[in-house]
Chains A and B, each alone.
Chain A
């Protein structure tokens, strides 16, 4: 008999066992399982493994943006005490990081240099200090070539990229005609700059080869299952010869979805040297050589008829990437279903530039797409003299406006209504520039949030041992998302165990293949795998009890049926185990699945300096079942704070002469600090999504950022009457329009 319980989501799962569990831990705001390790410094991150005979690697990047390396002069640094060697492999080293989930090698080859900072060599030494010294001093000879470093100069030369998770171009009806016939319309262009994920832990790899030619890589990666394949293909070894270990990951936000150049450099160097090698990126290298979110230029059009009904939606975007890299920032991904209107045009075109790779950063698409659409919608409402919440009520689509399929759930209007009530939205003065608090101009803004829900193939093993304890194991990761805790809660709920009786082991490719963390699919996918494994274990336990699974009650380590109570440990003999495996199916096509929310923001804009301060912020979200109210809230706080950064401070600047990132560190690329963030409030609406997966939960990690920046911009407009269409909204863009002091 197979020991695997597989489910393809071809049908809804109307009844989830999580709603009939007796343990009562699912959804509760329990502390993180690994919390005590993290707060005491005992959680081990990638660069922290104590490996004997370790050599230190320092990555060498180019100081030019386009051209060819003619020589890496190892002799120039060999005499430095402690230096072992300089390794380069022009064919094998990674030119670019890989995108998330790909099962091919990323673009390799570094003799031809395609962007400033490309990693072309690694210096090896007995100490970090010696490696760094040599890495800074090494002579790299090169021939520089002309490059394309200026977006503005090349933005008329576009290419149509291949489909991403949406097609690059989409057309329905006739937006031009809808605009021409409109009673009221807006036609505005918003821009967003390149952004950096800025996870607190820099990318780091320790590569260790054994005598059999197998590689163990201690890395900081969000999706170890596919990262392993990417790494194996890059190195030309078999999949099974590579193991990635990543139990703790110091944040990712997209930047660690695919493998980055340090992994292959460390692996090649370790092989050549015959010693383990550690390669940790410096913070500027993280900025220069991993991945950025593309800058965007977005033309947004909305048209309404005389009744105030949306008739047309246009969303045309320019994004940038390296030549040959097809990824485009899918700004229109939410536009496809968020807004009604029969006439629709949603296009994405690429501008090829010699800037570092662009790829996924938290909520690729919605994060910056909705900063444009939800601000444009606010412009439309202002023009119409209609409250944005009333506009949504009138224009809320009853089905997907393109695919004409039902929404699995959609509580967007309820999020807006509940948020309006809690936030005191009715106190907003819709006329801008009317409210003052001393030297501060006060304004309120609102925006909707949508984030597409995804399910990915994922597996997990759950075992119950002779002591009645359960262990969940999977190659899933916890990048701060709460995986350890929610997977433990799912298993505990279904097996009748308190959370401390469930161990969760993650982040190791020797464990069952898993979805990893990205695209907000982690909890739904890996949680469903745990659910399915537990479902099978419940059947085994019922069989051992001699009862139907439906009549079995599991609680506090006891199995209860037919007036009998037996401890789990005594029921399982030497132990039992099962594997759960989930895969997406027809439900993806039959129902439009998304999480929804509403952002409410109050800002103060200093009338003299133009400084913008976020004073209050509320997010109301509906994302299916909330698996842990504490960790889910934290995910939303994090997303909303990314929204503050995107709206007000984050701006990755490319030098138009050579593509160099002018602000390649945390002192110059401004992520929000504690003082920038008020005591944000987060509310969740009760919801179950039976079409999403058997645990009825949807993605939440990216919902908080979606739309958030627009709510801030809309609040700035309400405070000042100034509409800044070029994010971030910095003082220089407000100063000359502020009223006289």
Chain B
């Protein structure tokens, strides 16, 4: 099967039992995506598939024929950080760092959802979603952080969202 990861074309024949997360971590050496629970409960494995955020542990690799997958490694490098990566550093939006790649991939997907006008559980209306801290917290609640950098994660995402606006 064929798919693209971070702009590079791959051909692979994964075991039908292999999750997208295990394909990345165990077969392709892309260990930036983390395994925290393998149950879709913690969000540490979040990657972008065709621009949308998913829990890669809940998705089988064989389901991704021709998909464009973006992982944390595809967003930026230590020398050339993505704006969200830079904002996470500036605002200390992490401590141990294990949930961080998932948080950042999730934030990229989340901001795109907001741009498209998708409402969330806390939105007052279905259209013209007002973007505020409550929306960030709600939409980022699928990504657990036991170090609890949540207030700093909100600061980091707000910074980037405001700069874009």
Of residues 20 through 52 on chain A, the ones whose CB sits less than 8 Å from some CB of chain B are: 31-32, 34-45, 47-48, 50
Closest-by-CB residue of B relative to A704 is B148
Please tell me if the beta carbons of A677 and B90 are within 8 angstroms of each other in the complex.
no
Inside 8 A of A199's CB, which chain B residues have their CB? 96, 98, 146
Q: Interface size for chain A: under 10, 10 to 19, 20 to 34, or 35 or more residues?
A: 35 or more
Of residues 22 through 61 on chain B, the ones whose CB sits less than 8 Å from some CB of chain A are: 22, 25-26, 29-39, 41-42, 44
Given contacts A642-B148, A679-B133, A680-B151, contact A200 B90 (CB under 8 A): no
Please tell me if the beta carbons of B81 and A36 are within 8 angstroms of each other in the complex.
yes
Inside 8 A of A198's CB, which chain B residues have their CB? 146
Inside 8 A of A674's CB, which chain B residues have their CB? 136-138, 140-141, 143, 145, 150, 153-154
Give the residue of B18, B41, B71, B89 whose beta carbon is less than 8 angstroms from that of A31: B89
- Interface segment among A243-251, A344-352, A364-372, A721-729: the answer is A243-251
Interface residue B161 (Cβ < 8 Å from any Cβ of A): no
Interface residue B92 (Cβ < 8 Å from any Cβ of A): yes
Please tell me if the beta carbons of B140 and A40 are within 8 angstroms of each other in the complex.
no
Q: How far is the CA of A480 from the CA of B154 in the complex (A)?
A: 18
Interface residue B4 (Cβ < 8 Å from any Cβ of A): no
Q: How far is the CA of A674 from the CA of B154 in the complex (A)?
A: 9
Please tell me if the beta carbons of B144 and A41 are within 8 angstroms of each other in the complex.
no
Closest-by-CB residue of B relative to A644 is B148
Interface residue A225 (Cβ < 8 Å from any Cβ of B): no
Of residues 424 through 477 on chain A, the ones whose CB sits less than 8 Å from some CB of chain B are: none
- Give A43 Cβ to nearest chain B Cβ, in Å: 5
Please tell me if the beta carbons of B97 and A283 are within 8 angstroms of each other in the complex.
no
Contact with B along A131-161 (1 / 0, CB 8 A): 0010000000000000000000000000000
Please tell me if the beta carbons of B101 and A675 are within 8 angstroms of each other in the complex.
no
Interface residue B73 (Cβ < 8 Å from any Cβ of A): yes
Closest-by-CB residue of B relative to A56 is B26
Please tell me if the beta carbons of B71 and A41 are within 8 angstroms of each other in the complex.
yes
- Give B160 Cβ to nearest chain A Cβ, in Å: 12
Please tell me if the beta carbons of B149 and A201 are within 8 angstroms of each other in the complex.
no
Q: How far is the CA of A34 from the CA of B136 in the complex (A)?
A: 26
Give the residue of A38, A200, A667, A680 whose beta carbon is less than 8 angstroms from that of B44: A200
Please tell me if the beta carbons of B31 and A481 are within 8 angstroms of each other in the complex.
no
Interface residue B164 (Cβ < 8 Å from any Cβ of A): no
Please tell me if the beta carbons of A200 and B92 are within 8 angstroms of each other in the complex.
no
Please tell me if the beta carbons of A43 and B97 are within 8 angstroms of each other in the complex.
yes
- Give B52 Cβ to nearest chain A Cβ, in Å: 19
Contact with A along B73-108 (1 / 0, CB 8 A): 101111101000110111010111111110010000
Inside 8 A of A202's CB, which chain B residues have their CB? 35-37
Interface residue A637 (Cβ < 8 Å from any Cβ of B): yes
Please tell me if the beta carbons of A41 and B33 are within 8 angstroms of each other in the complex.
yes
Inside 8 A of B32's CB, which chain A residues have their CB? 40-42
Chain B contributes a number of interface residues (CB within 8 A of A) equal to 66
Closest-by-CB residue of B relative to A636 is B148
Please tell me if the beta carbons of A673 and B41 are within 8 angstroms of each other in the complex.
no
Please tell me if the beta carbons of A637 and B36 are within 8 angstroms of each other in the complex.
no
Inside 8 A of A47's CB, which chain B residues have their CB? 35
Please tell me if the beta carbons of B98 and A200 are within 8 angstroms of each other in the complex.
yes
Interface residue A386 (Cβ < 8 Å from any Cβ of B): no
Give the residue of B22, B38, B85, B142 whose beta carbon is less than 8 angstroms from that of A39: B85
Inside 8 A of B78's CB, which chain A residues have their CB? 36-37, 40, 42
Q: How far is the CA of A678 from the CA of B77 in the complex (A)?
A: 31
Please tell me if the beta carbons of A41 and B101 are within 8 angstroms of each other in the complex.
yes
Of residues 73 through 89 on chain A, the ones whose CB sits less than 8 Å from some CB of chain B are: none
Inside 8 A of A200's CB, which chain B residues have their CB? 34, 36, 42, 44, 96, 98-99, 144-147
Please tell me if the beta carbons of B71 and A671 are within 8 angstroms of each other in the complex.
no
Interface residue B123 (Cβ < 8 Å from any Cβ of A): no
Please tell me if the beta carbons of A48 and B104 are within 8 angstroms of each other in the complex.
no
Q: How far is the CA of A674 from the CA of B143 in the complex (A)?
A: 8
Inside 8 A of B44's CB, which chain A residues have their CB? 200
Inside 8 A of B151's CB, which chain A residues have their CB? 637, 677-680
Please tell me if the beta carbons of A40 and B96 are within 8 angstroms of each other in the complex.
no
Inside 8 A of A127's CB, which chain B residues have their CB? 15, 26
Closest-by-CB residue of A relative to B88 is A39
- Give A676 Cβ to nearest chain B Cβ, in Å: 8
Inside 8 A of A671's CB, which chain B residues have their CB? 144, 146
Please tell me if the beta carbons of B81 and A39 are within 8 angstroms of each other in the complex.
yes
Given contacts A200-B145, A641-B148, A671-B146, contact A251 B96 (CB under 8 A): yes
Q: How far is the CA of A633 from the CA of B100 in the complex (A)?
A: 18
Contact with B along A264-280 (1 / 0, CB 8 A): 00000000000000001
Contact with B along A281-325 (1 / 0, CB 8 A): 011000000000000000000000000000000000000000000
Given contacts A39-B88, A200-B98, A634-B95, contact A253 B146 (CB under 8 A): yes
A contacts, CB < 8 Å to B: 31-32, 34-45, 47-48, 50, 127-129, 133, 197-202, 248-251, 253, 280, 282-283, 479-482, 630-631, 633-635, 637-638, 640-642, 665-667, 671-680
User: Would you list 18 pairs from A and B whose C-beta atoms are within 8 A, ordered by A residue?
Assistant: A35-B88, A36-B79, A40-B85, A42-B77, A199-B146, A200-B36, A201-B34, A202-B36, A250-B34, A250-B96, A251-B98, A283-B37, A480-B95, A642-B148, A673-B150, A674-B154, A675-B122, A677-B148
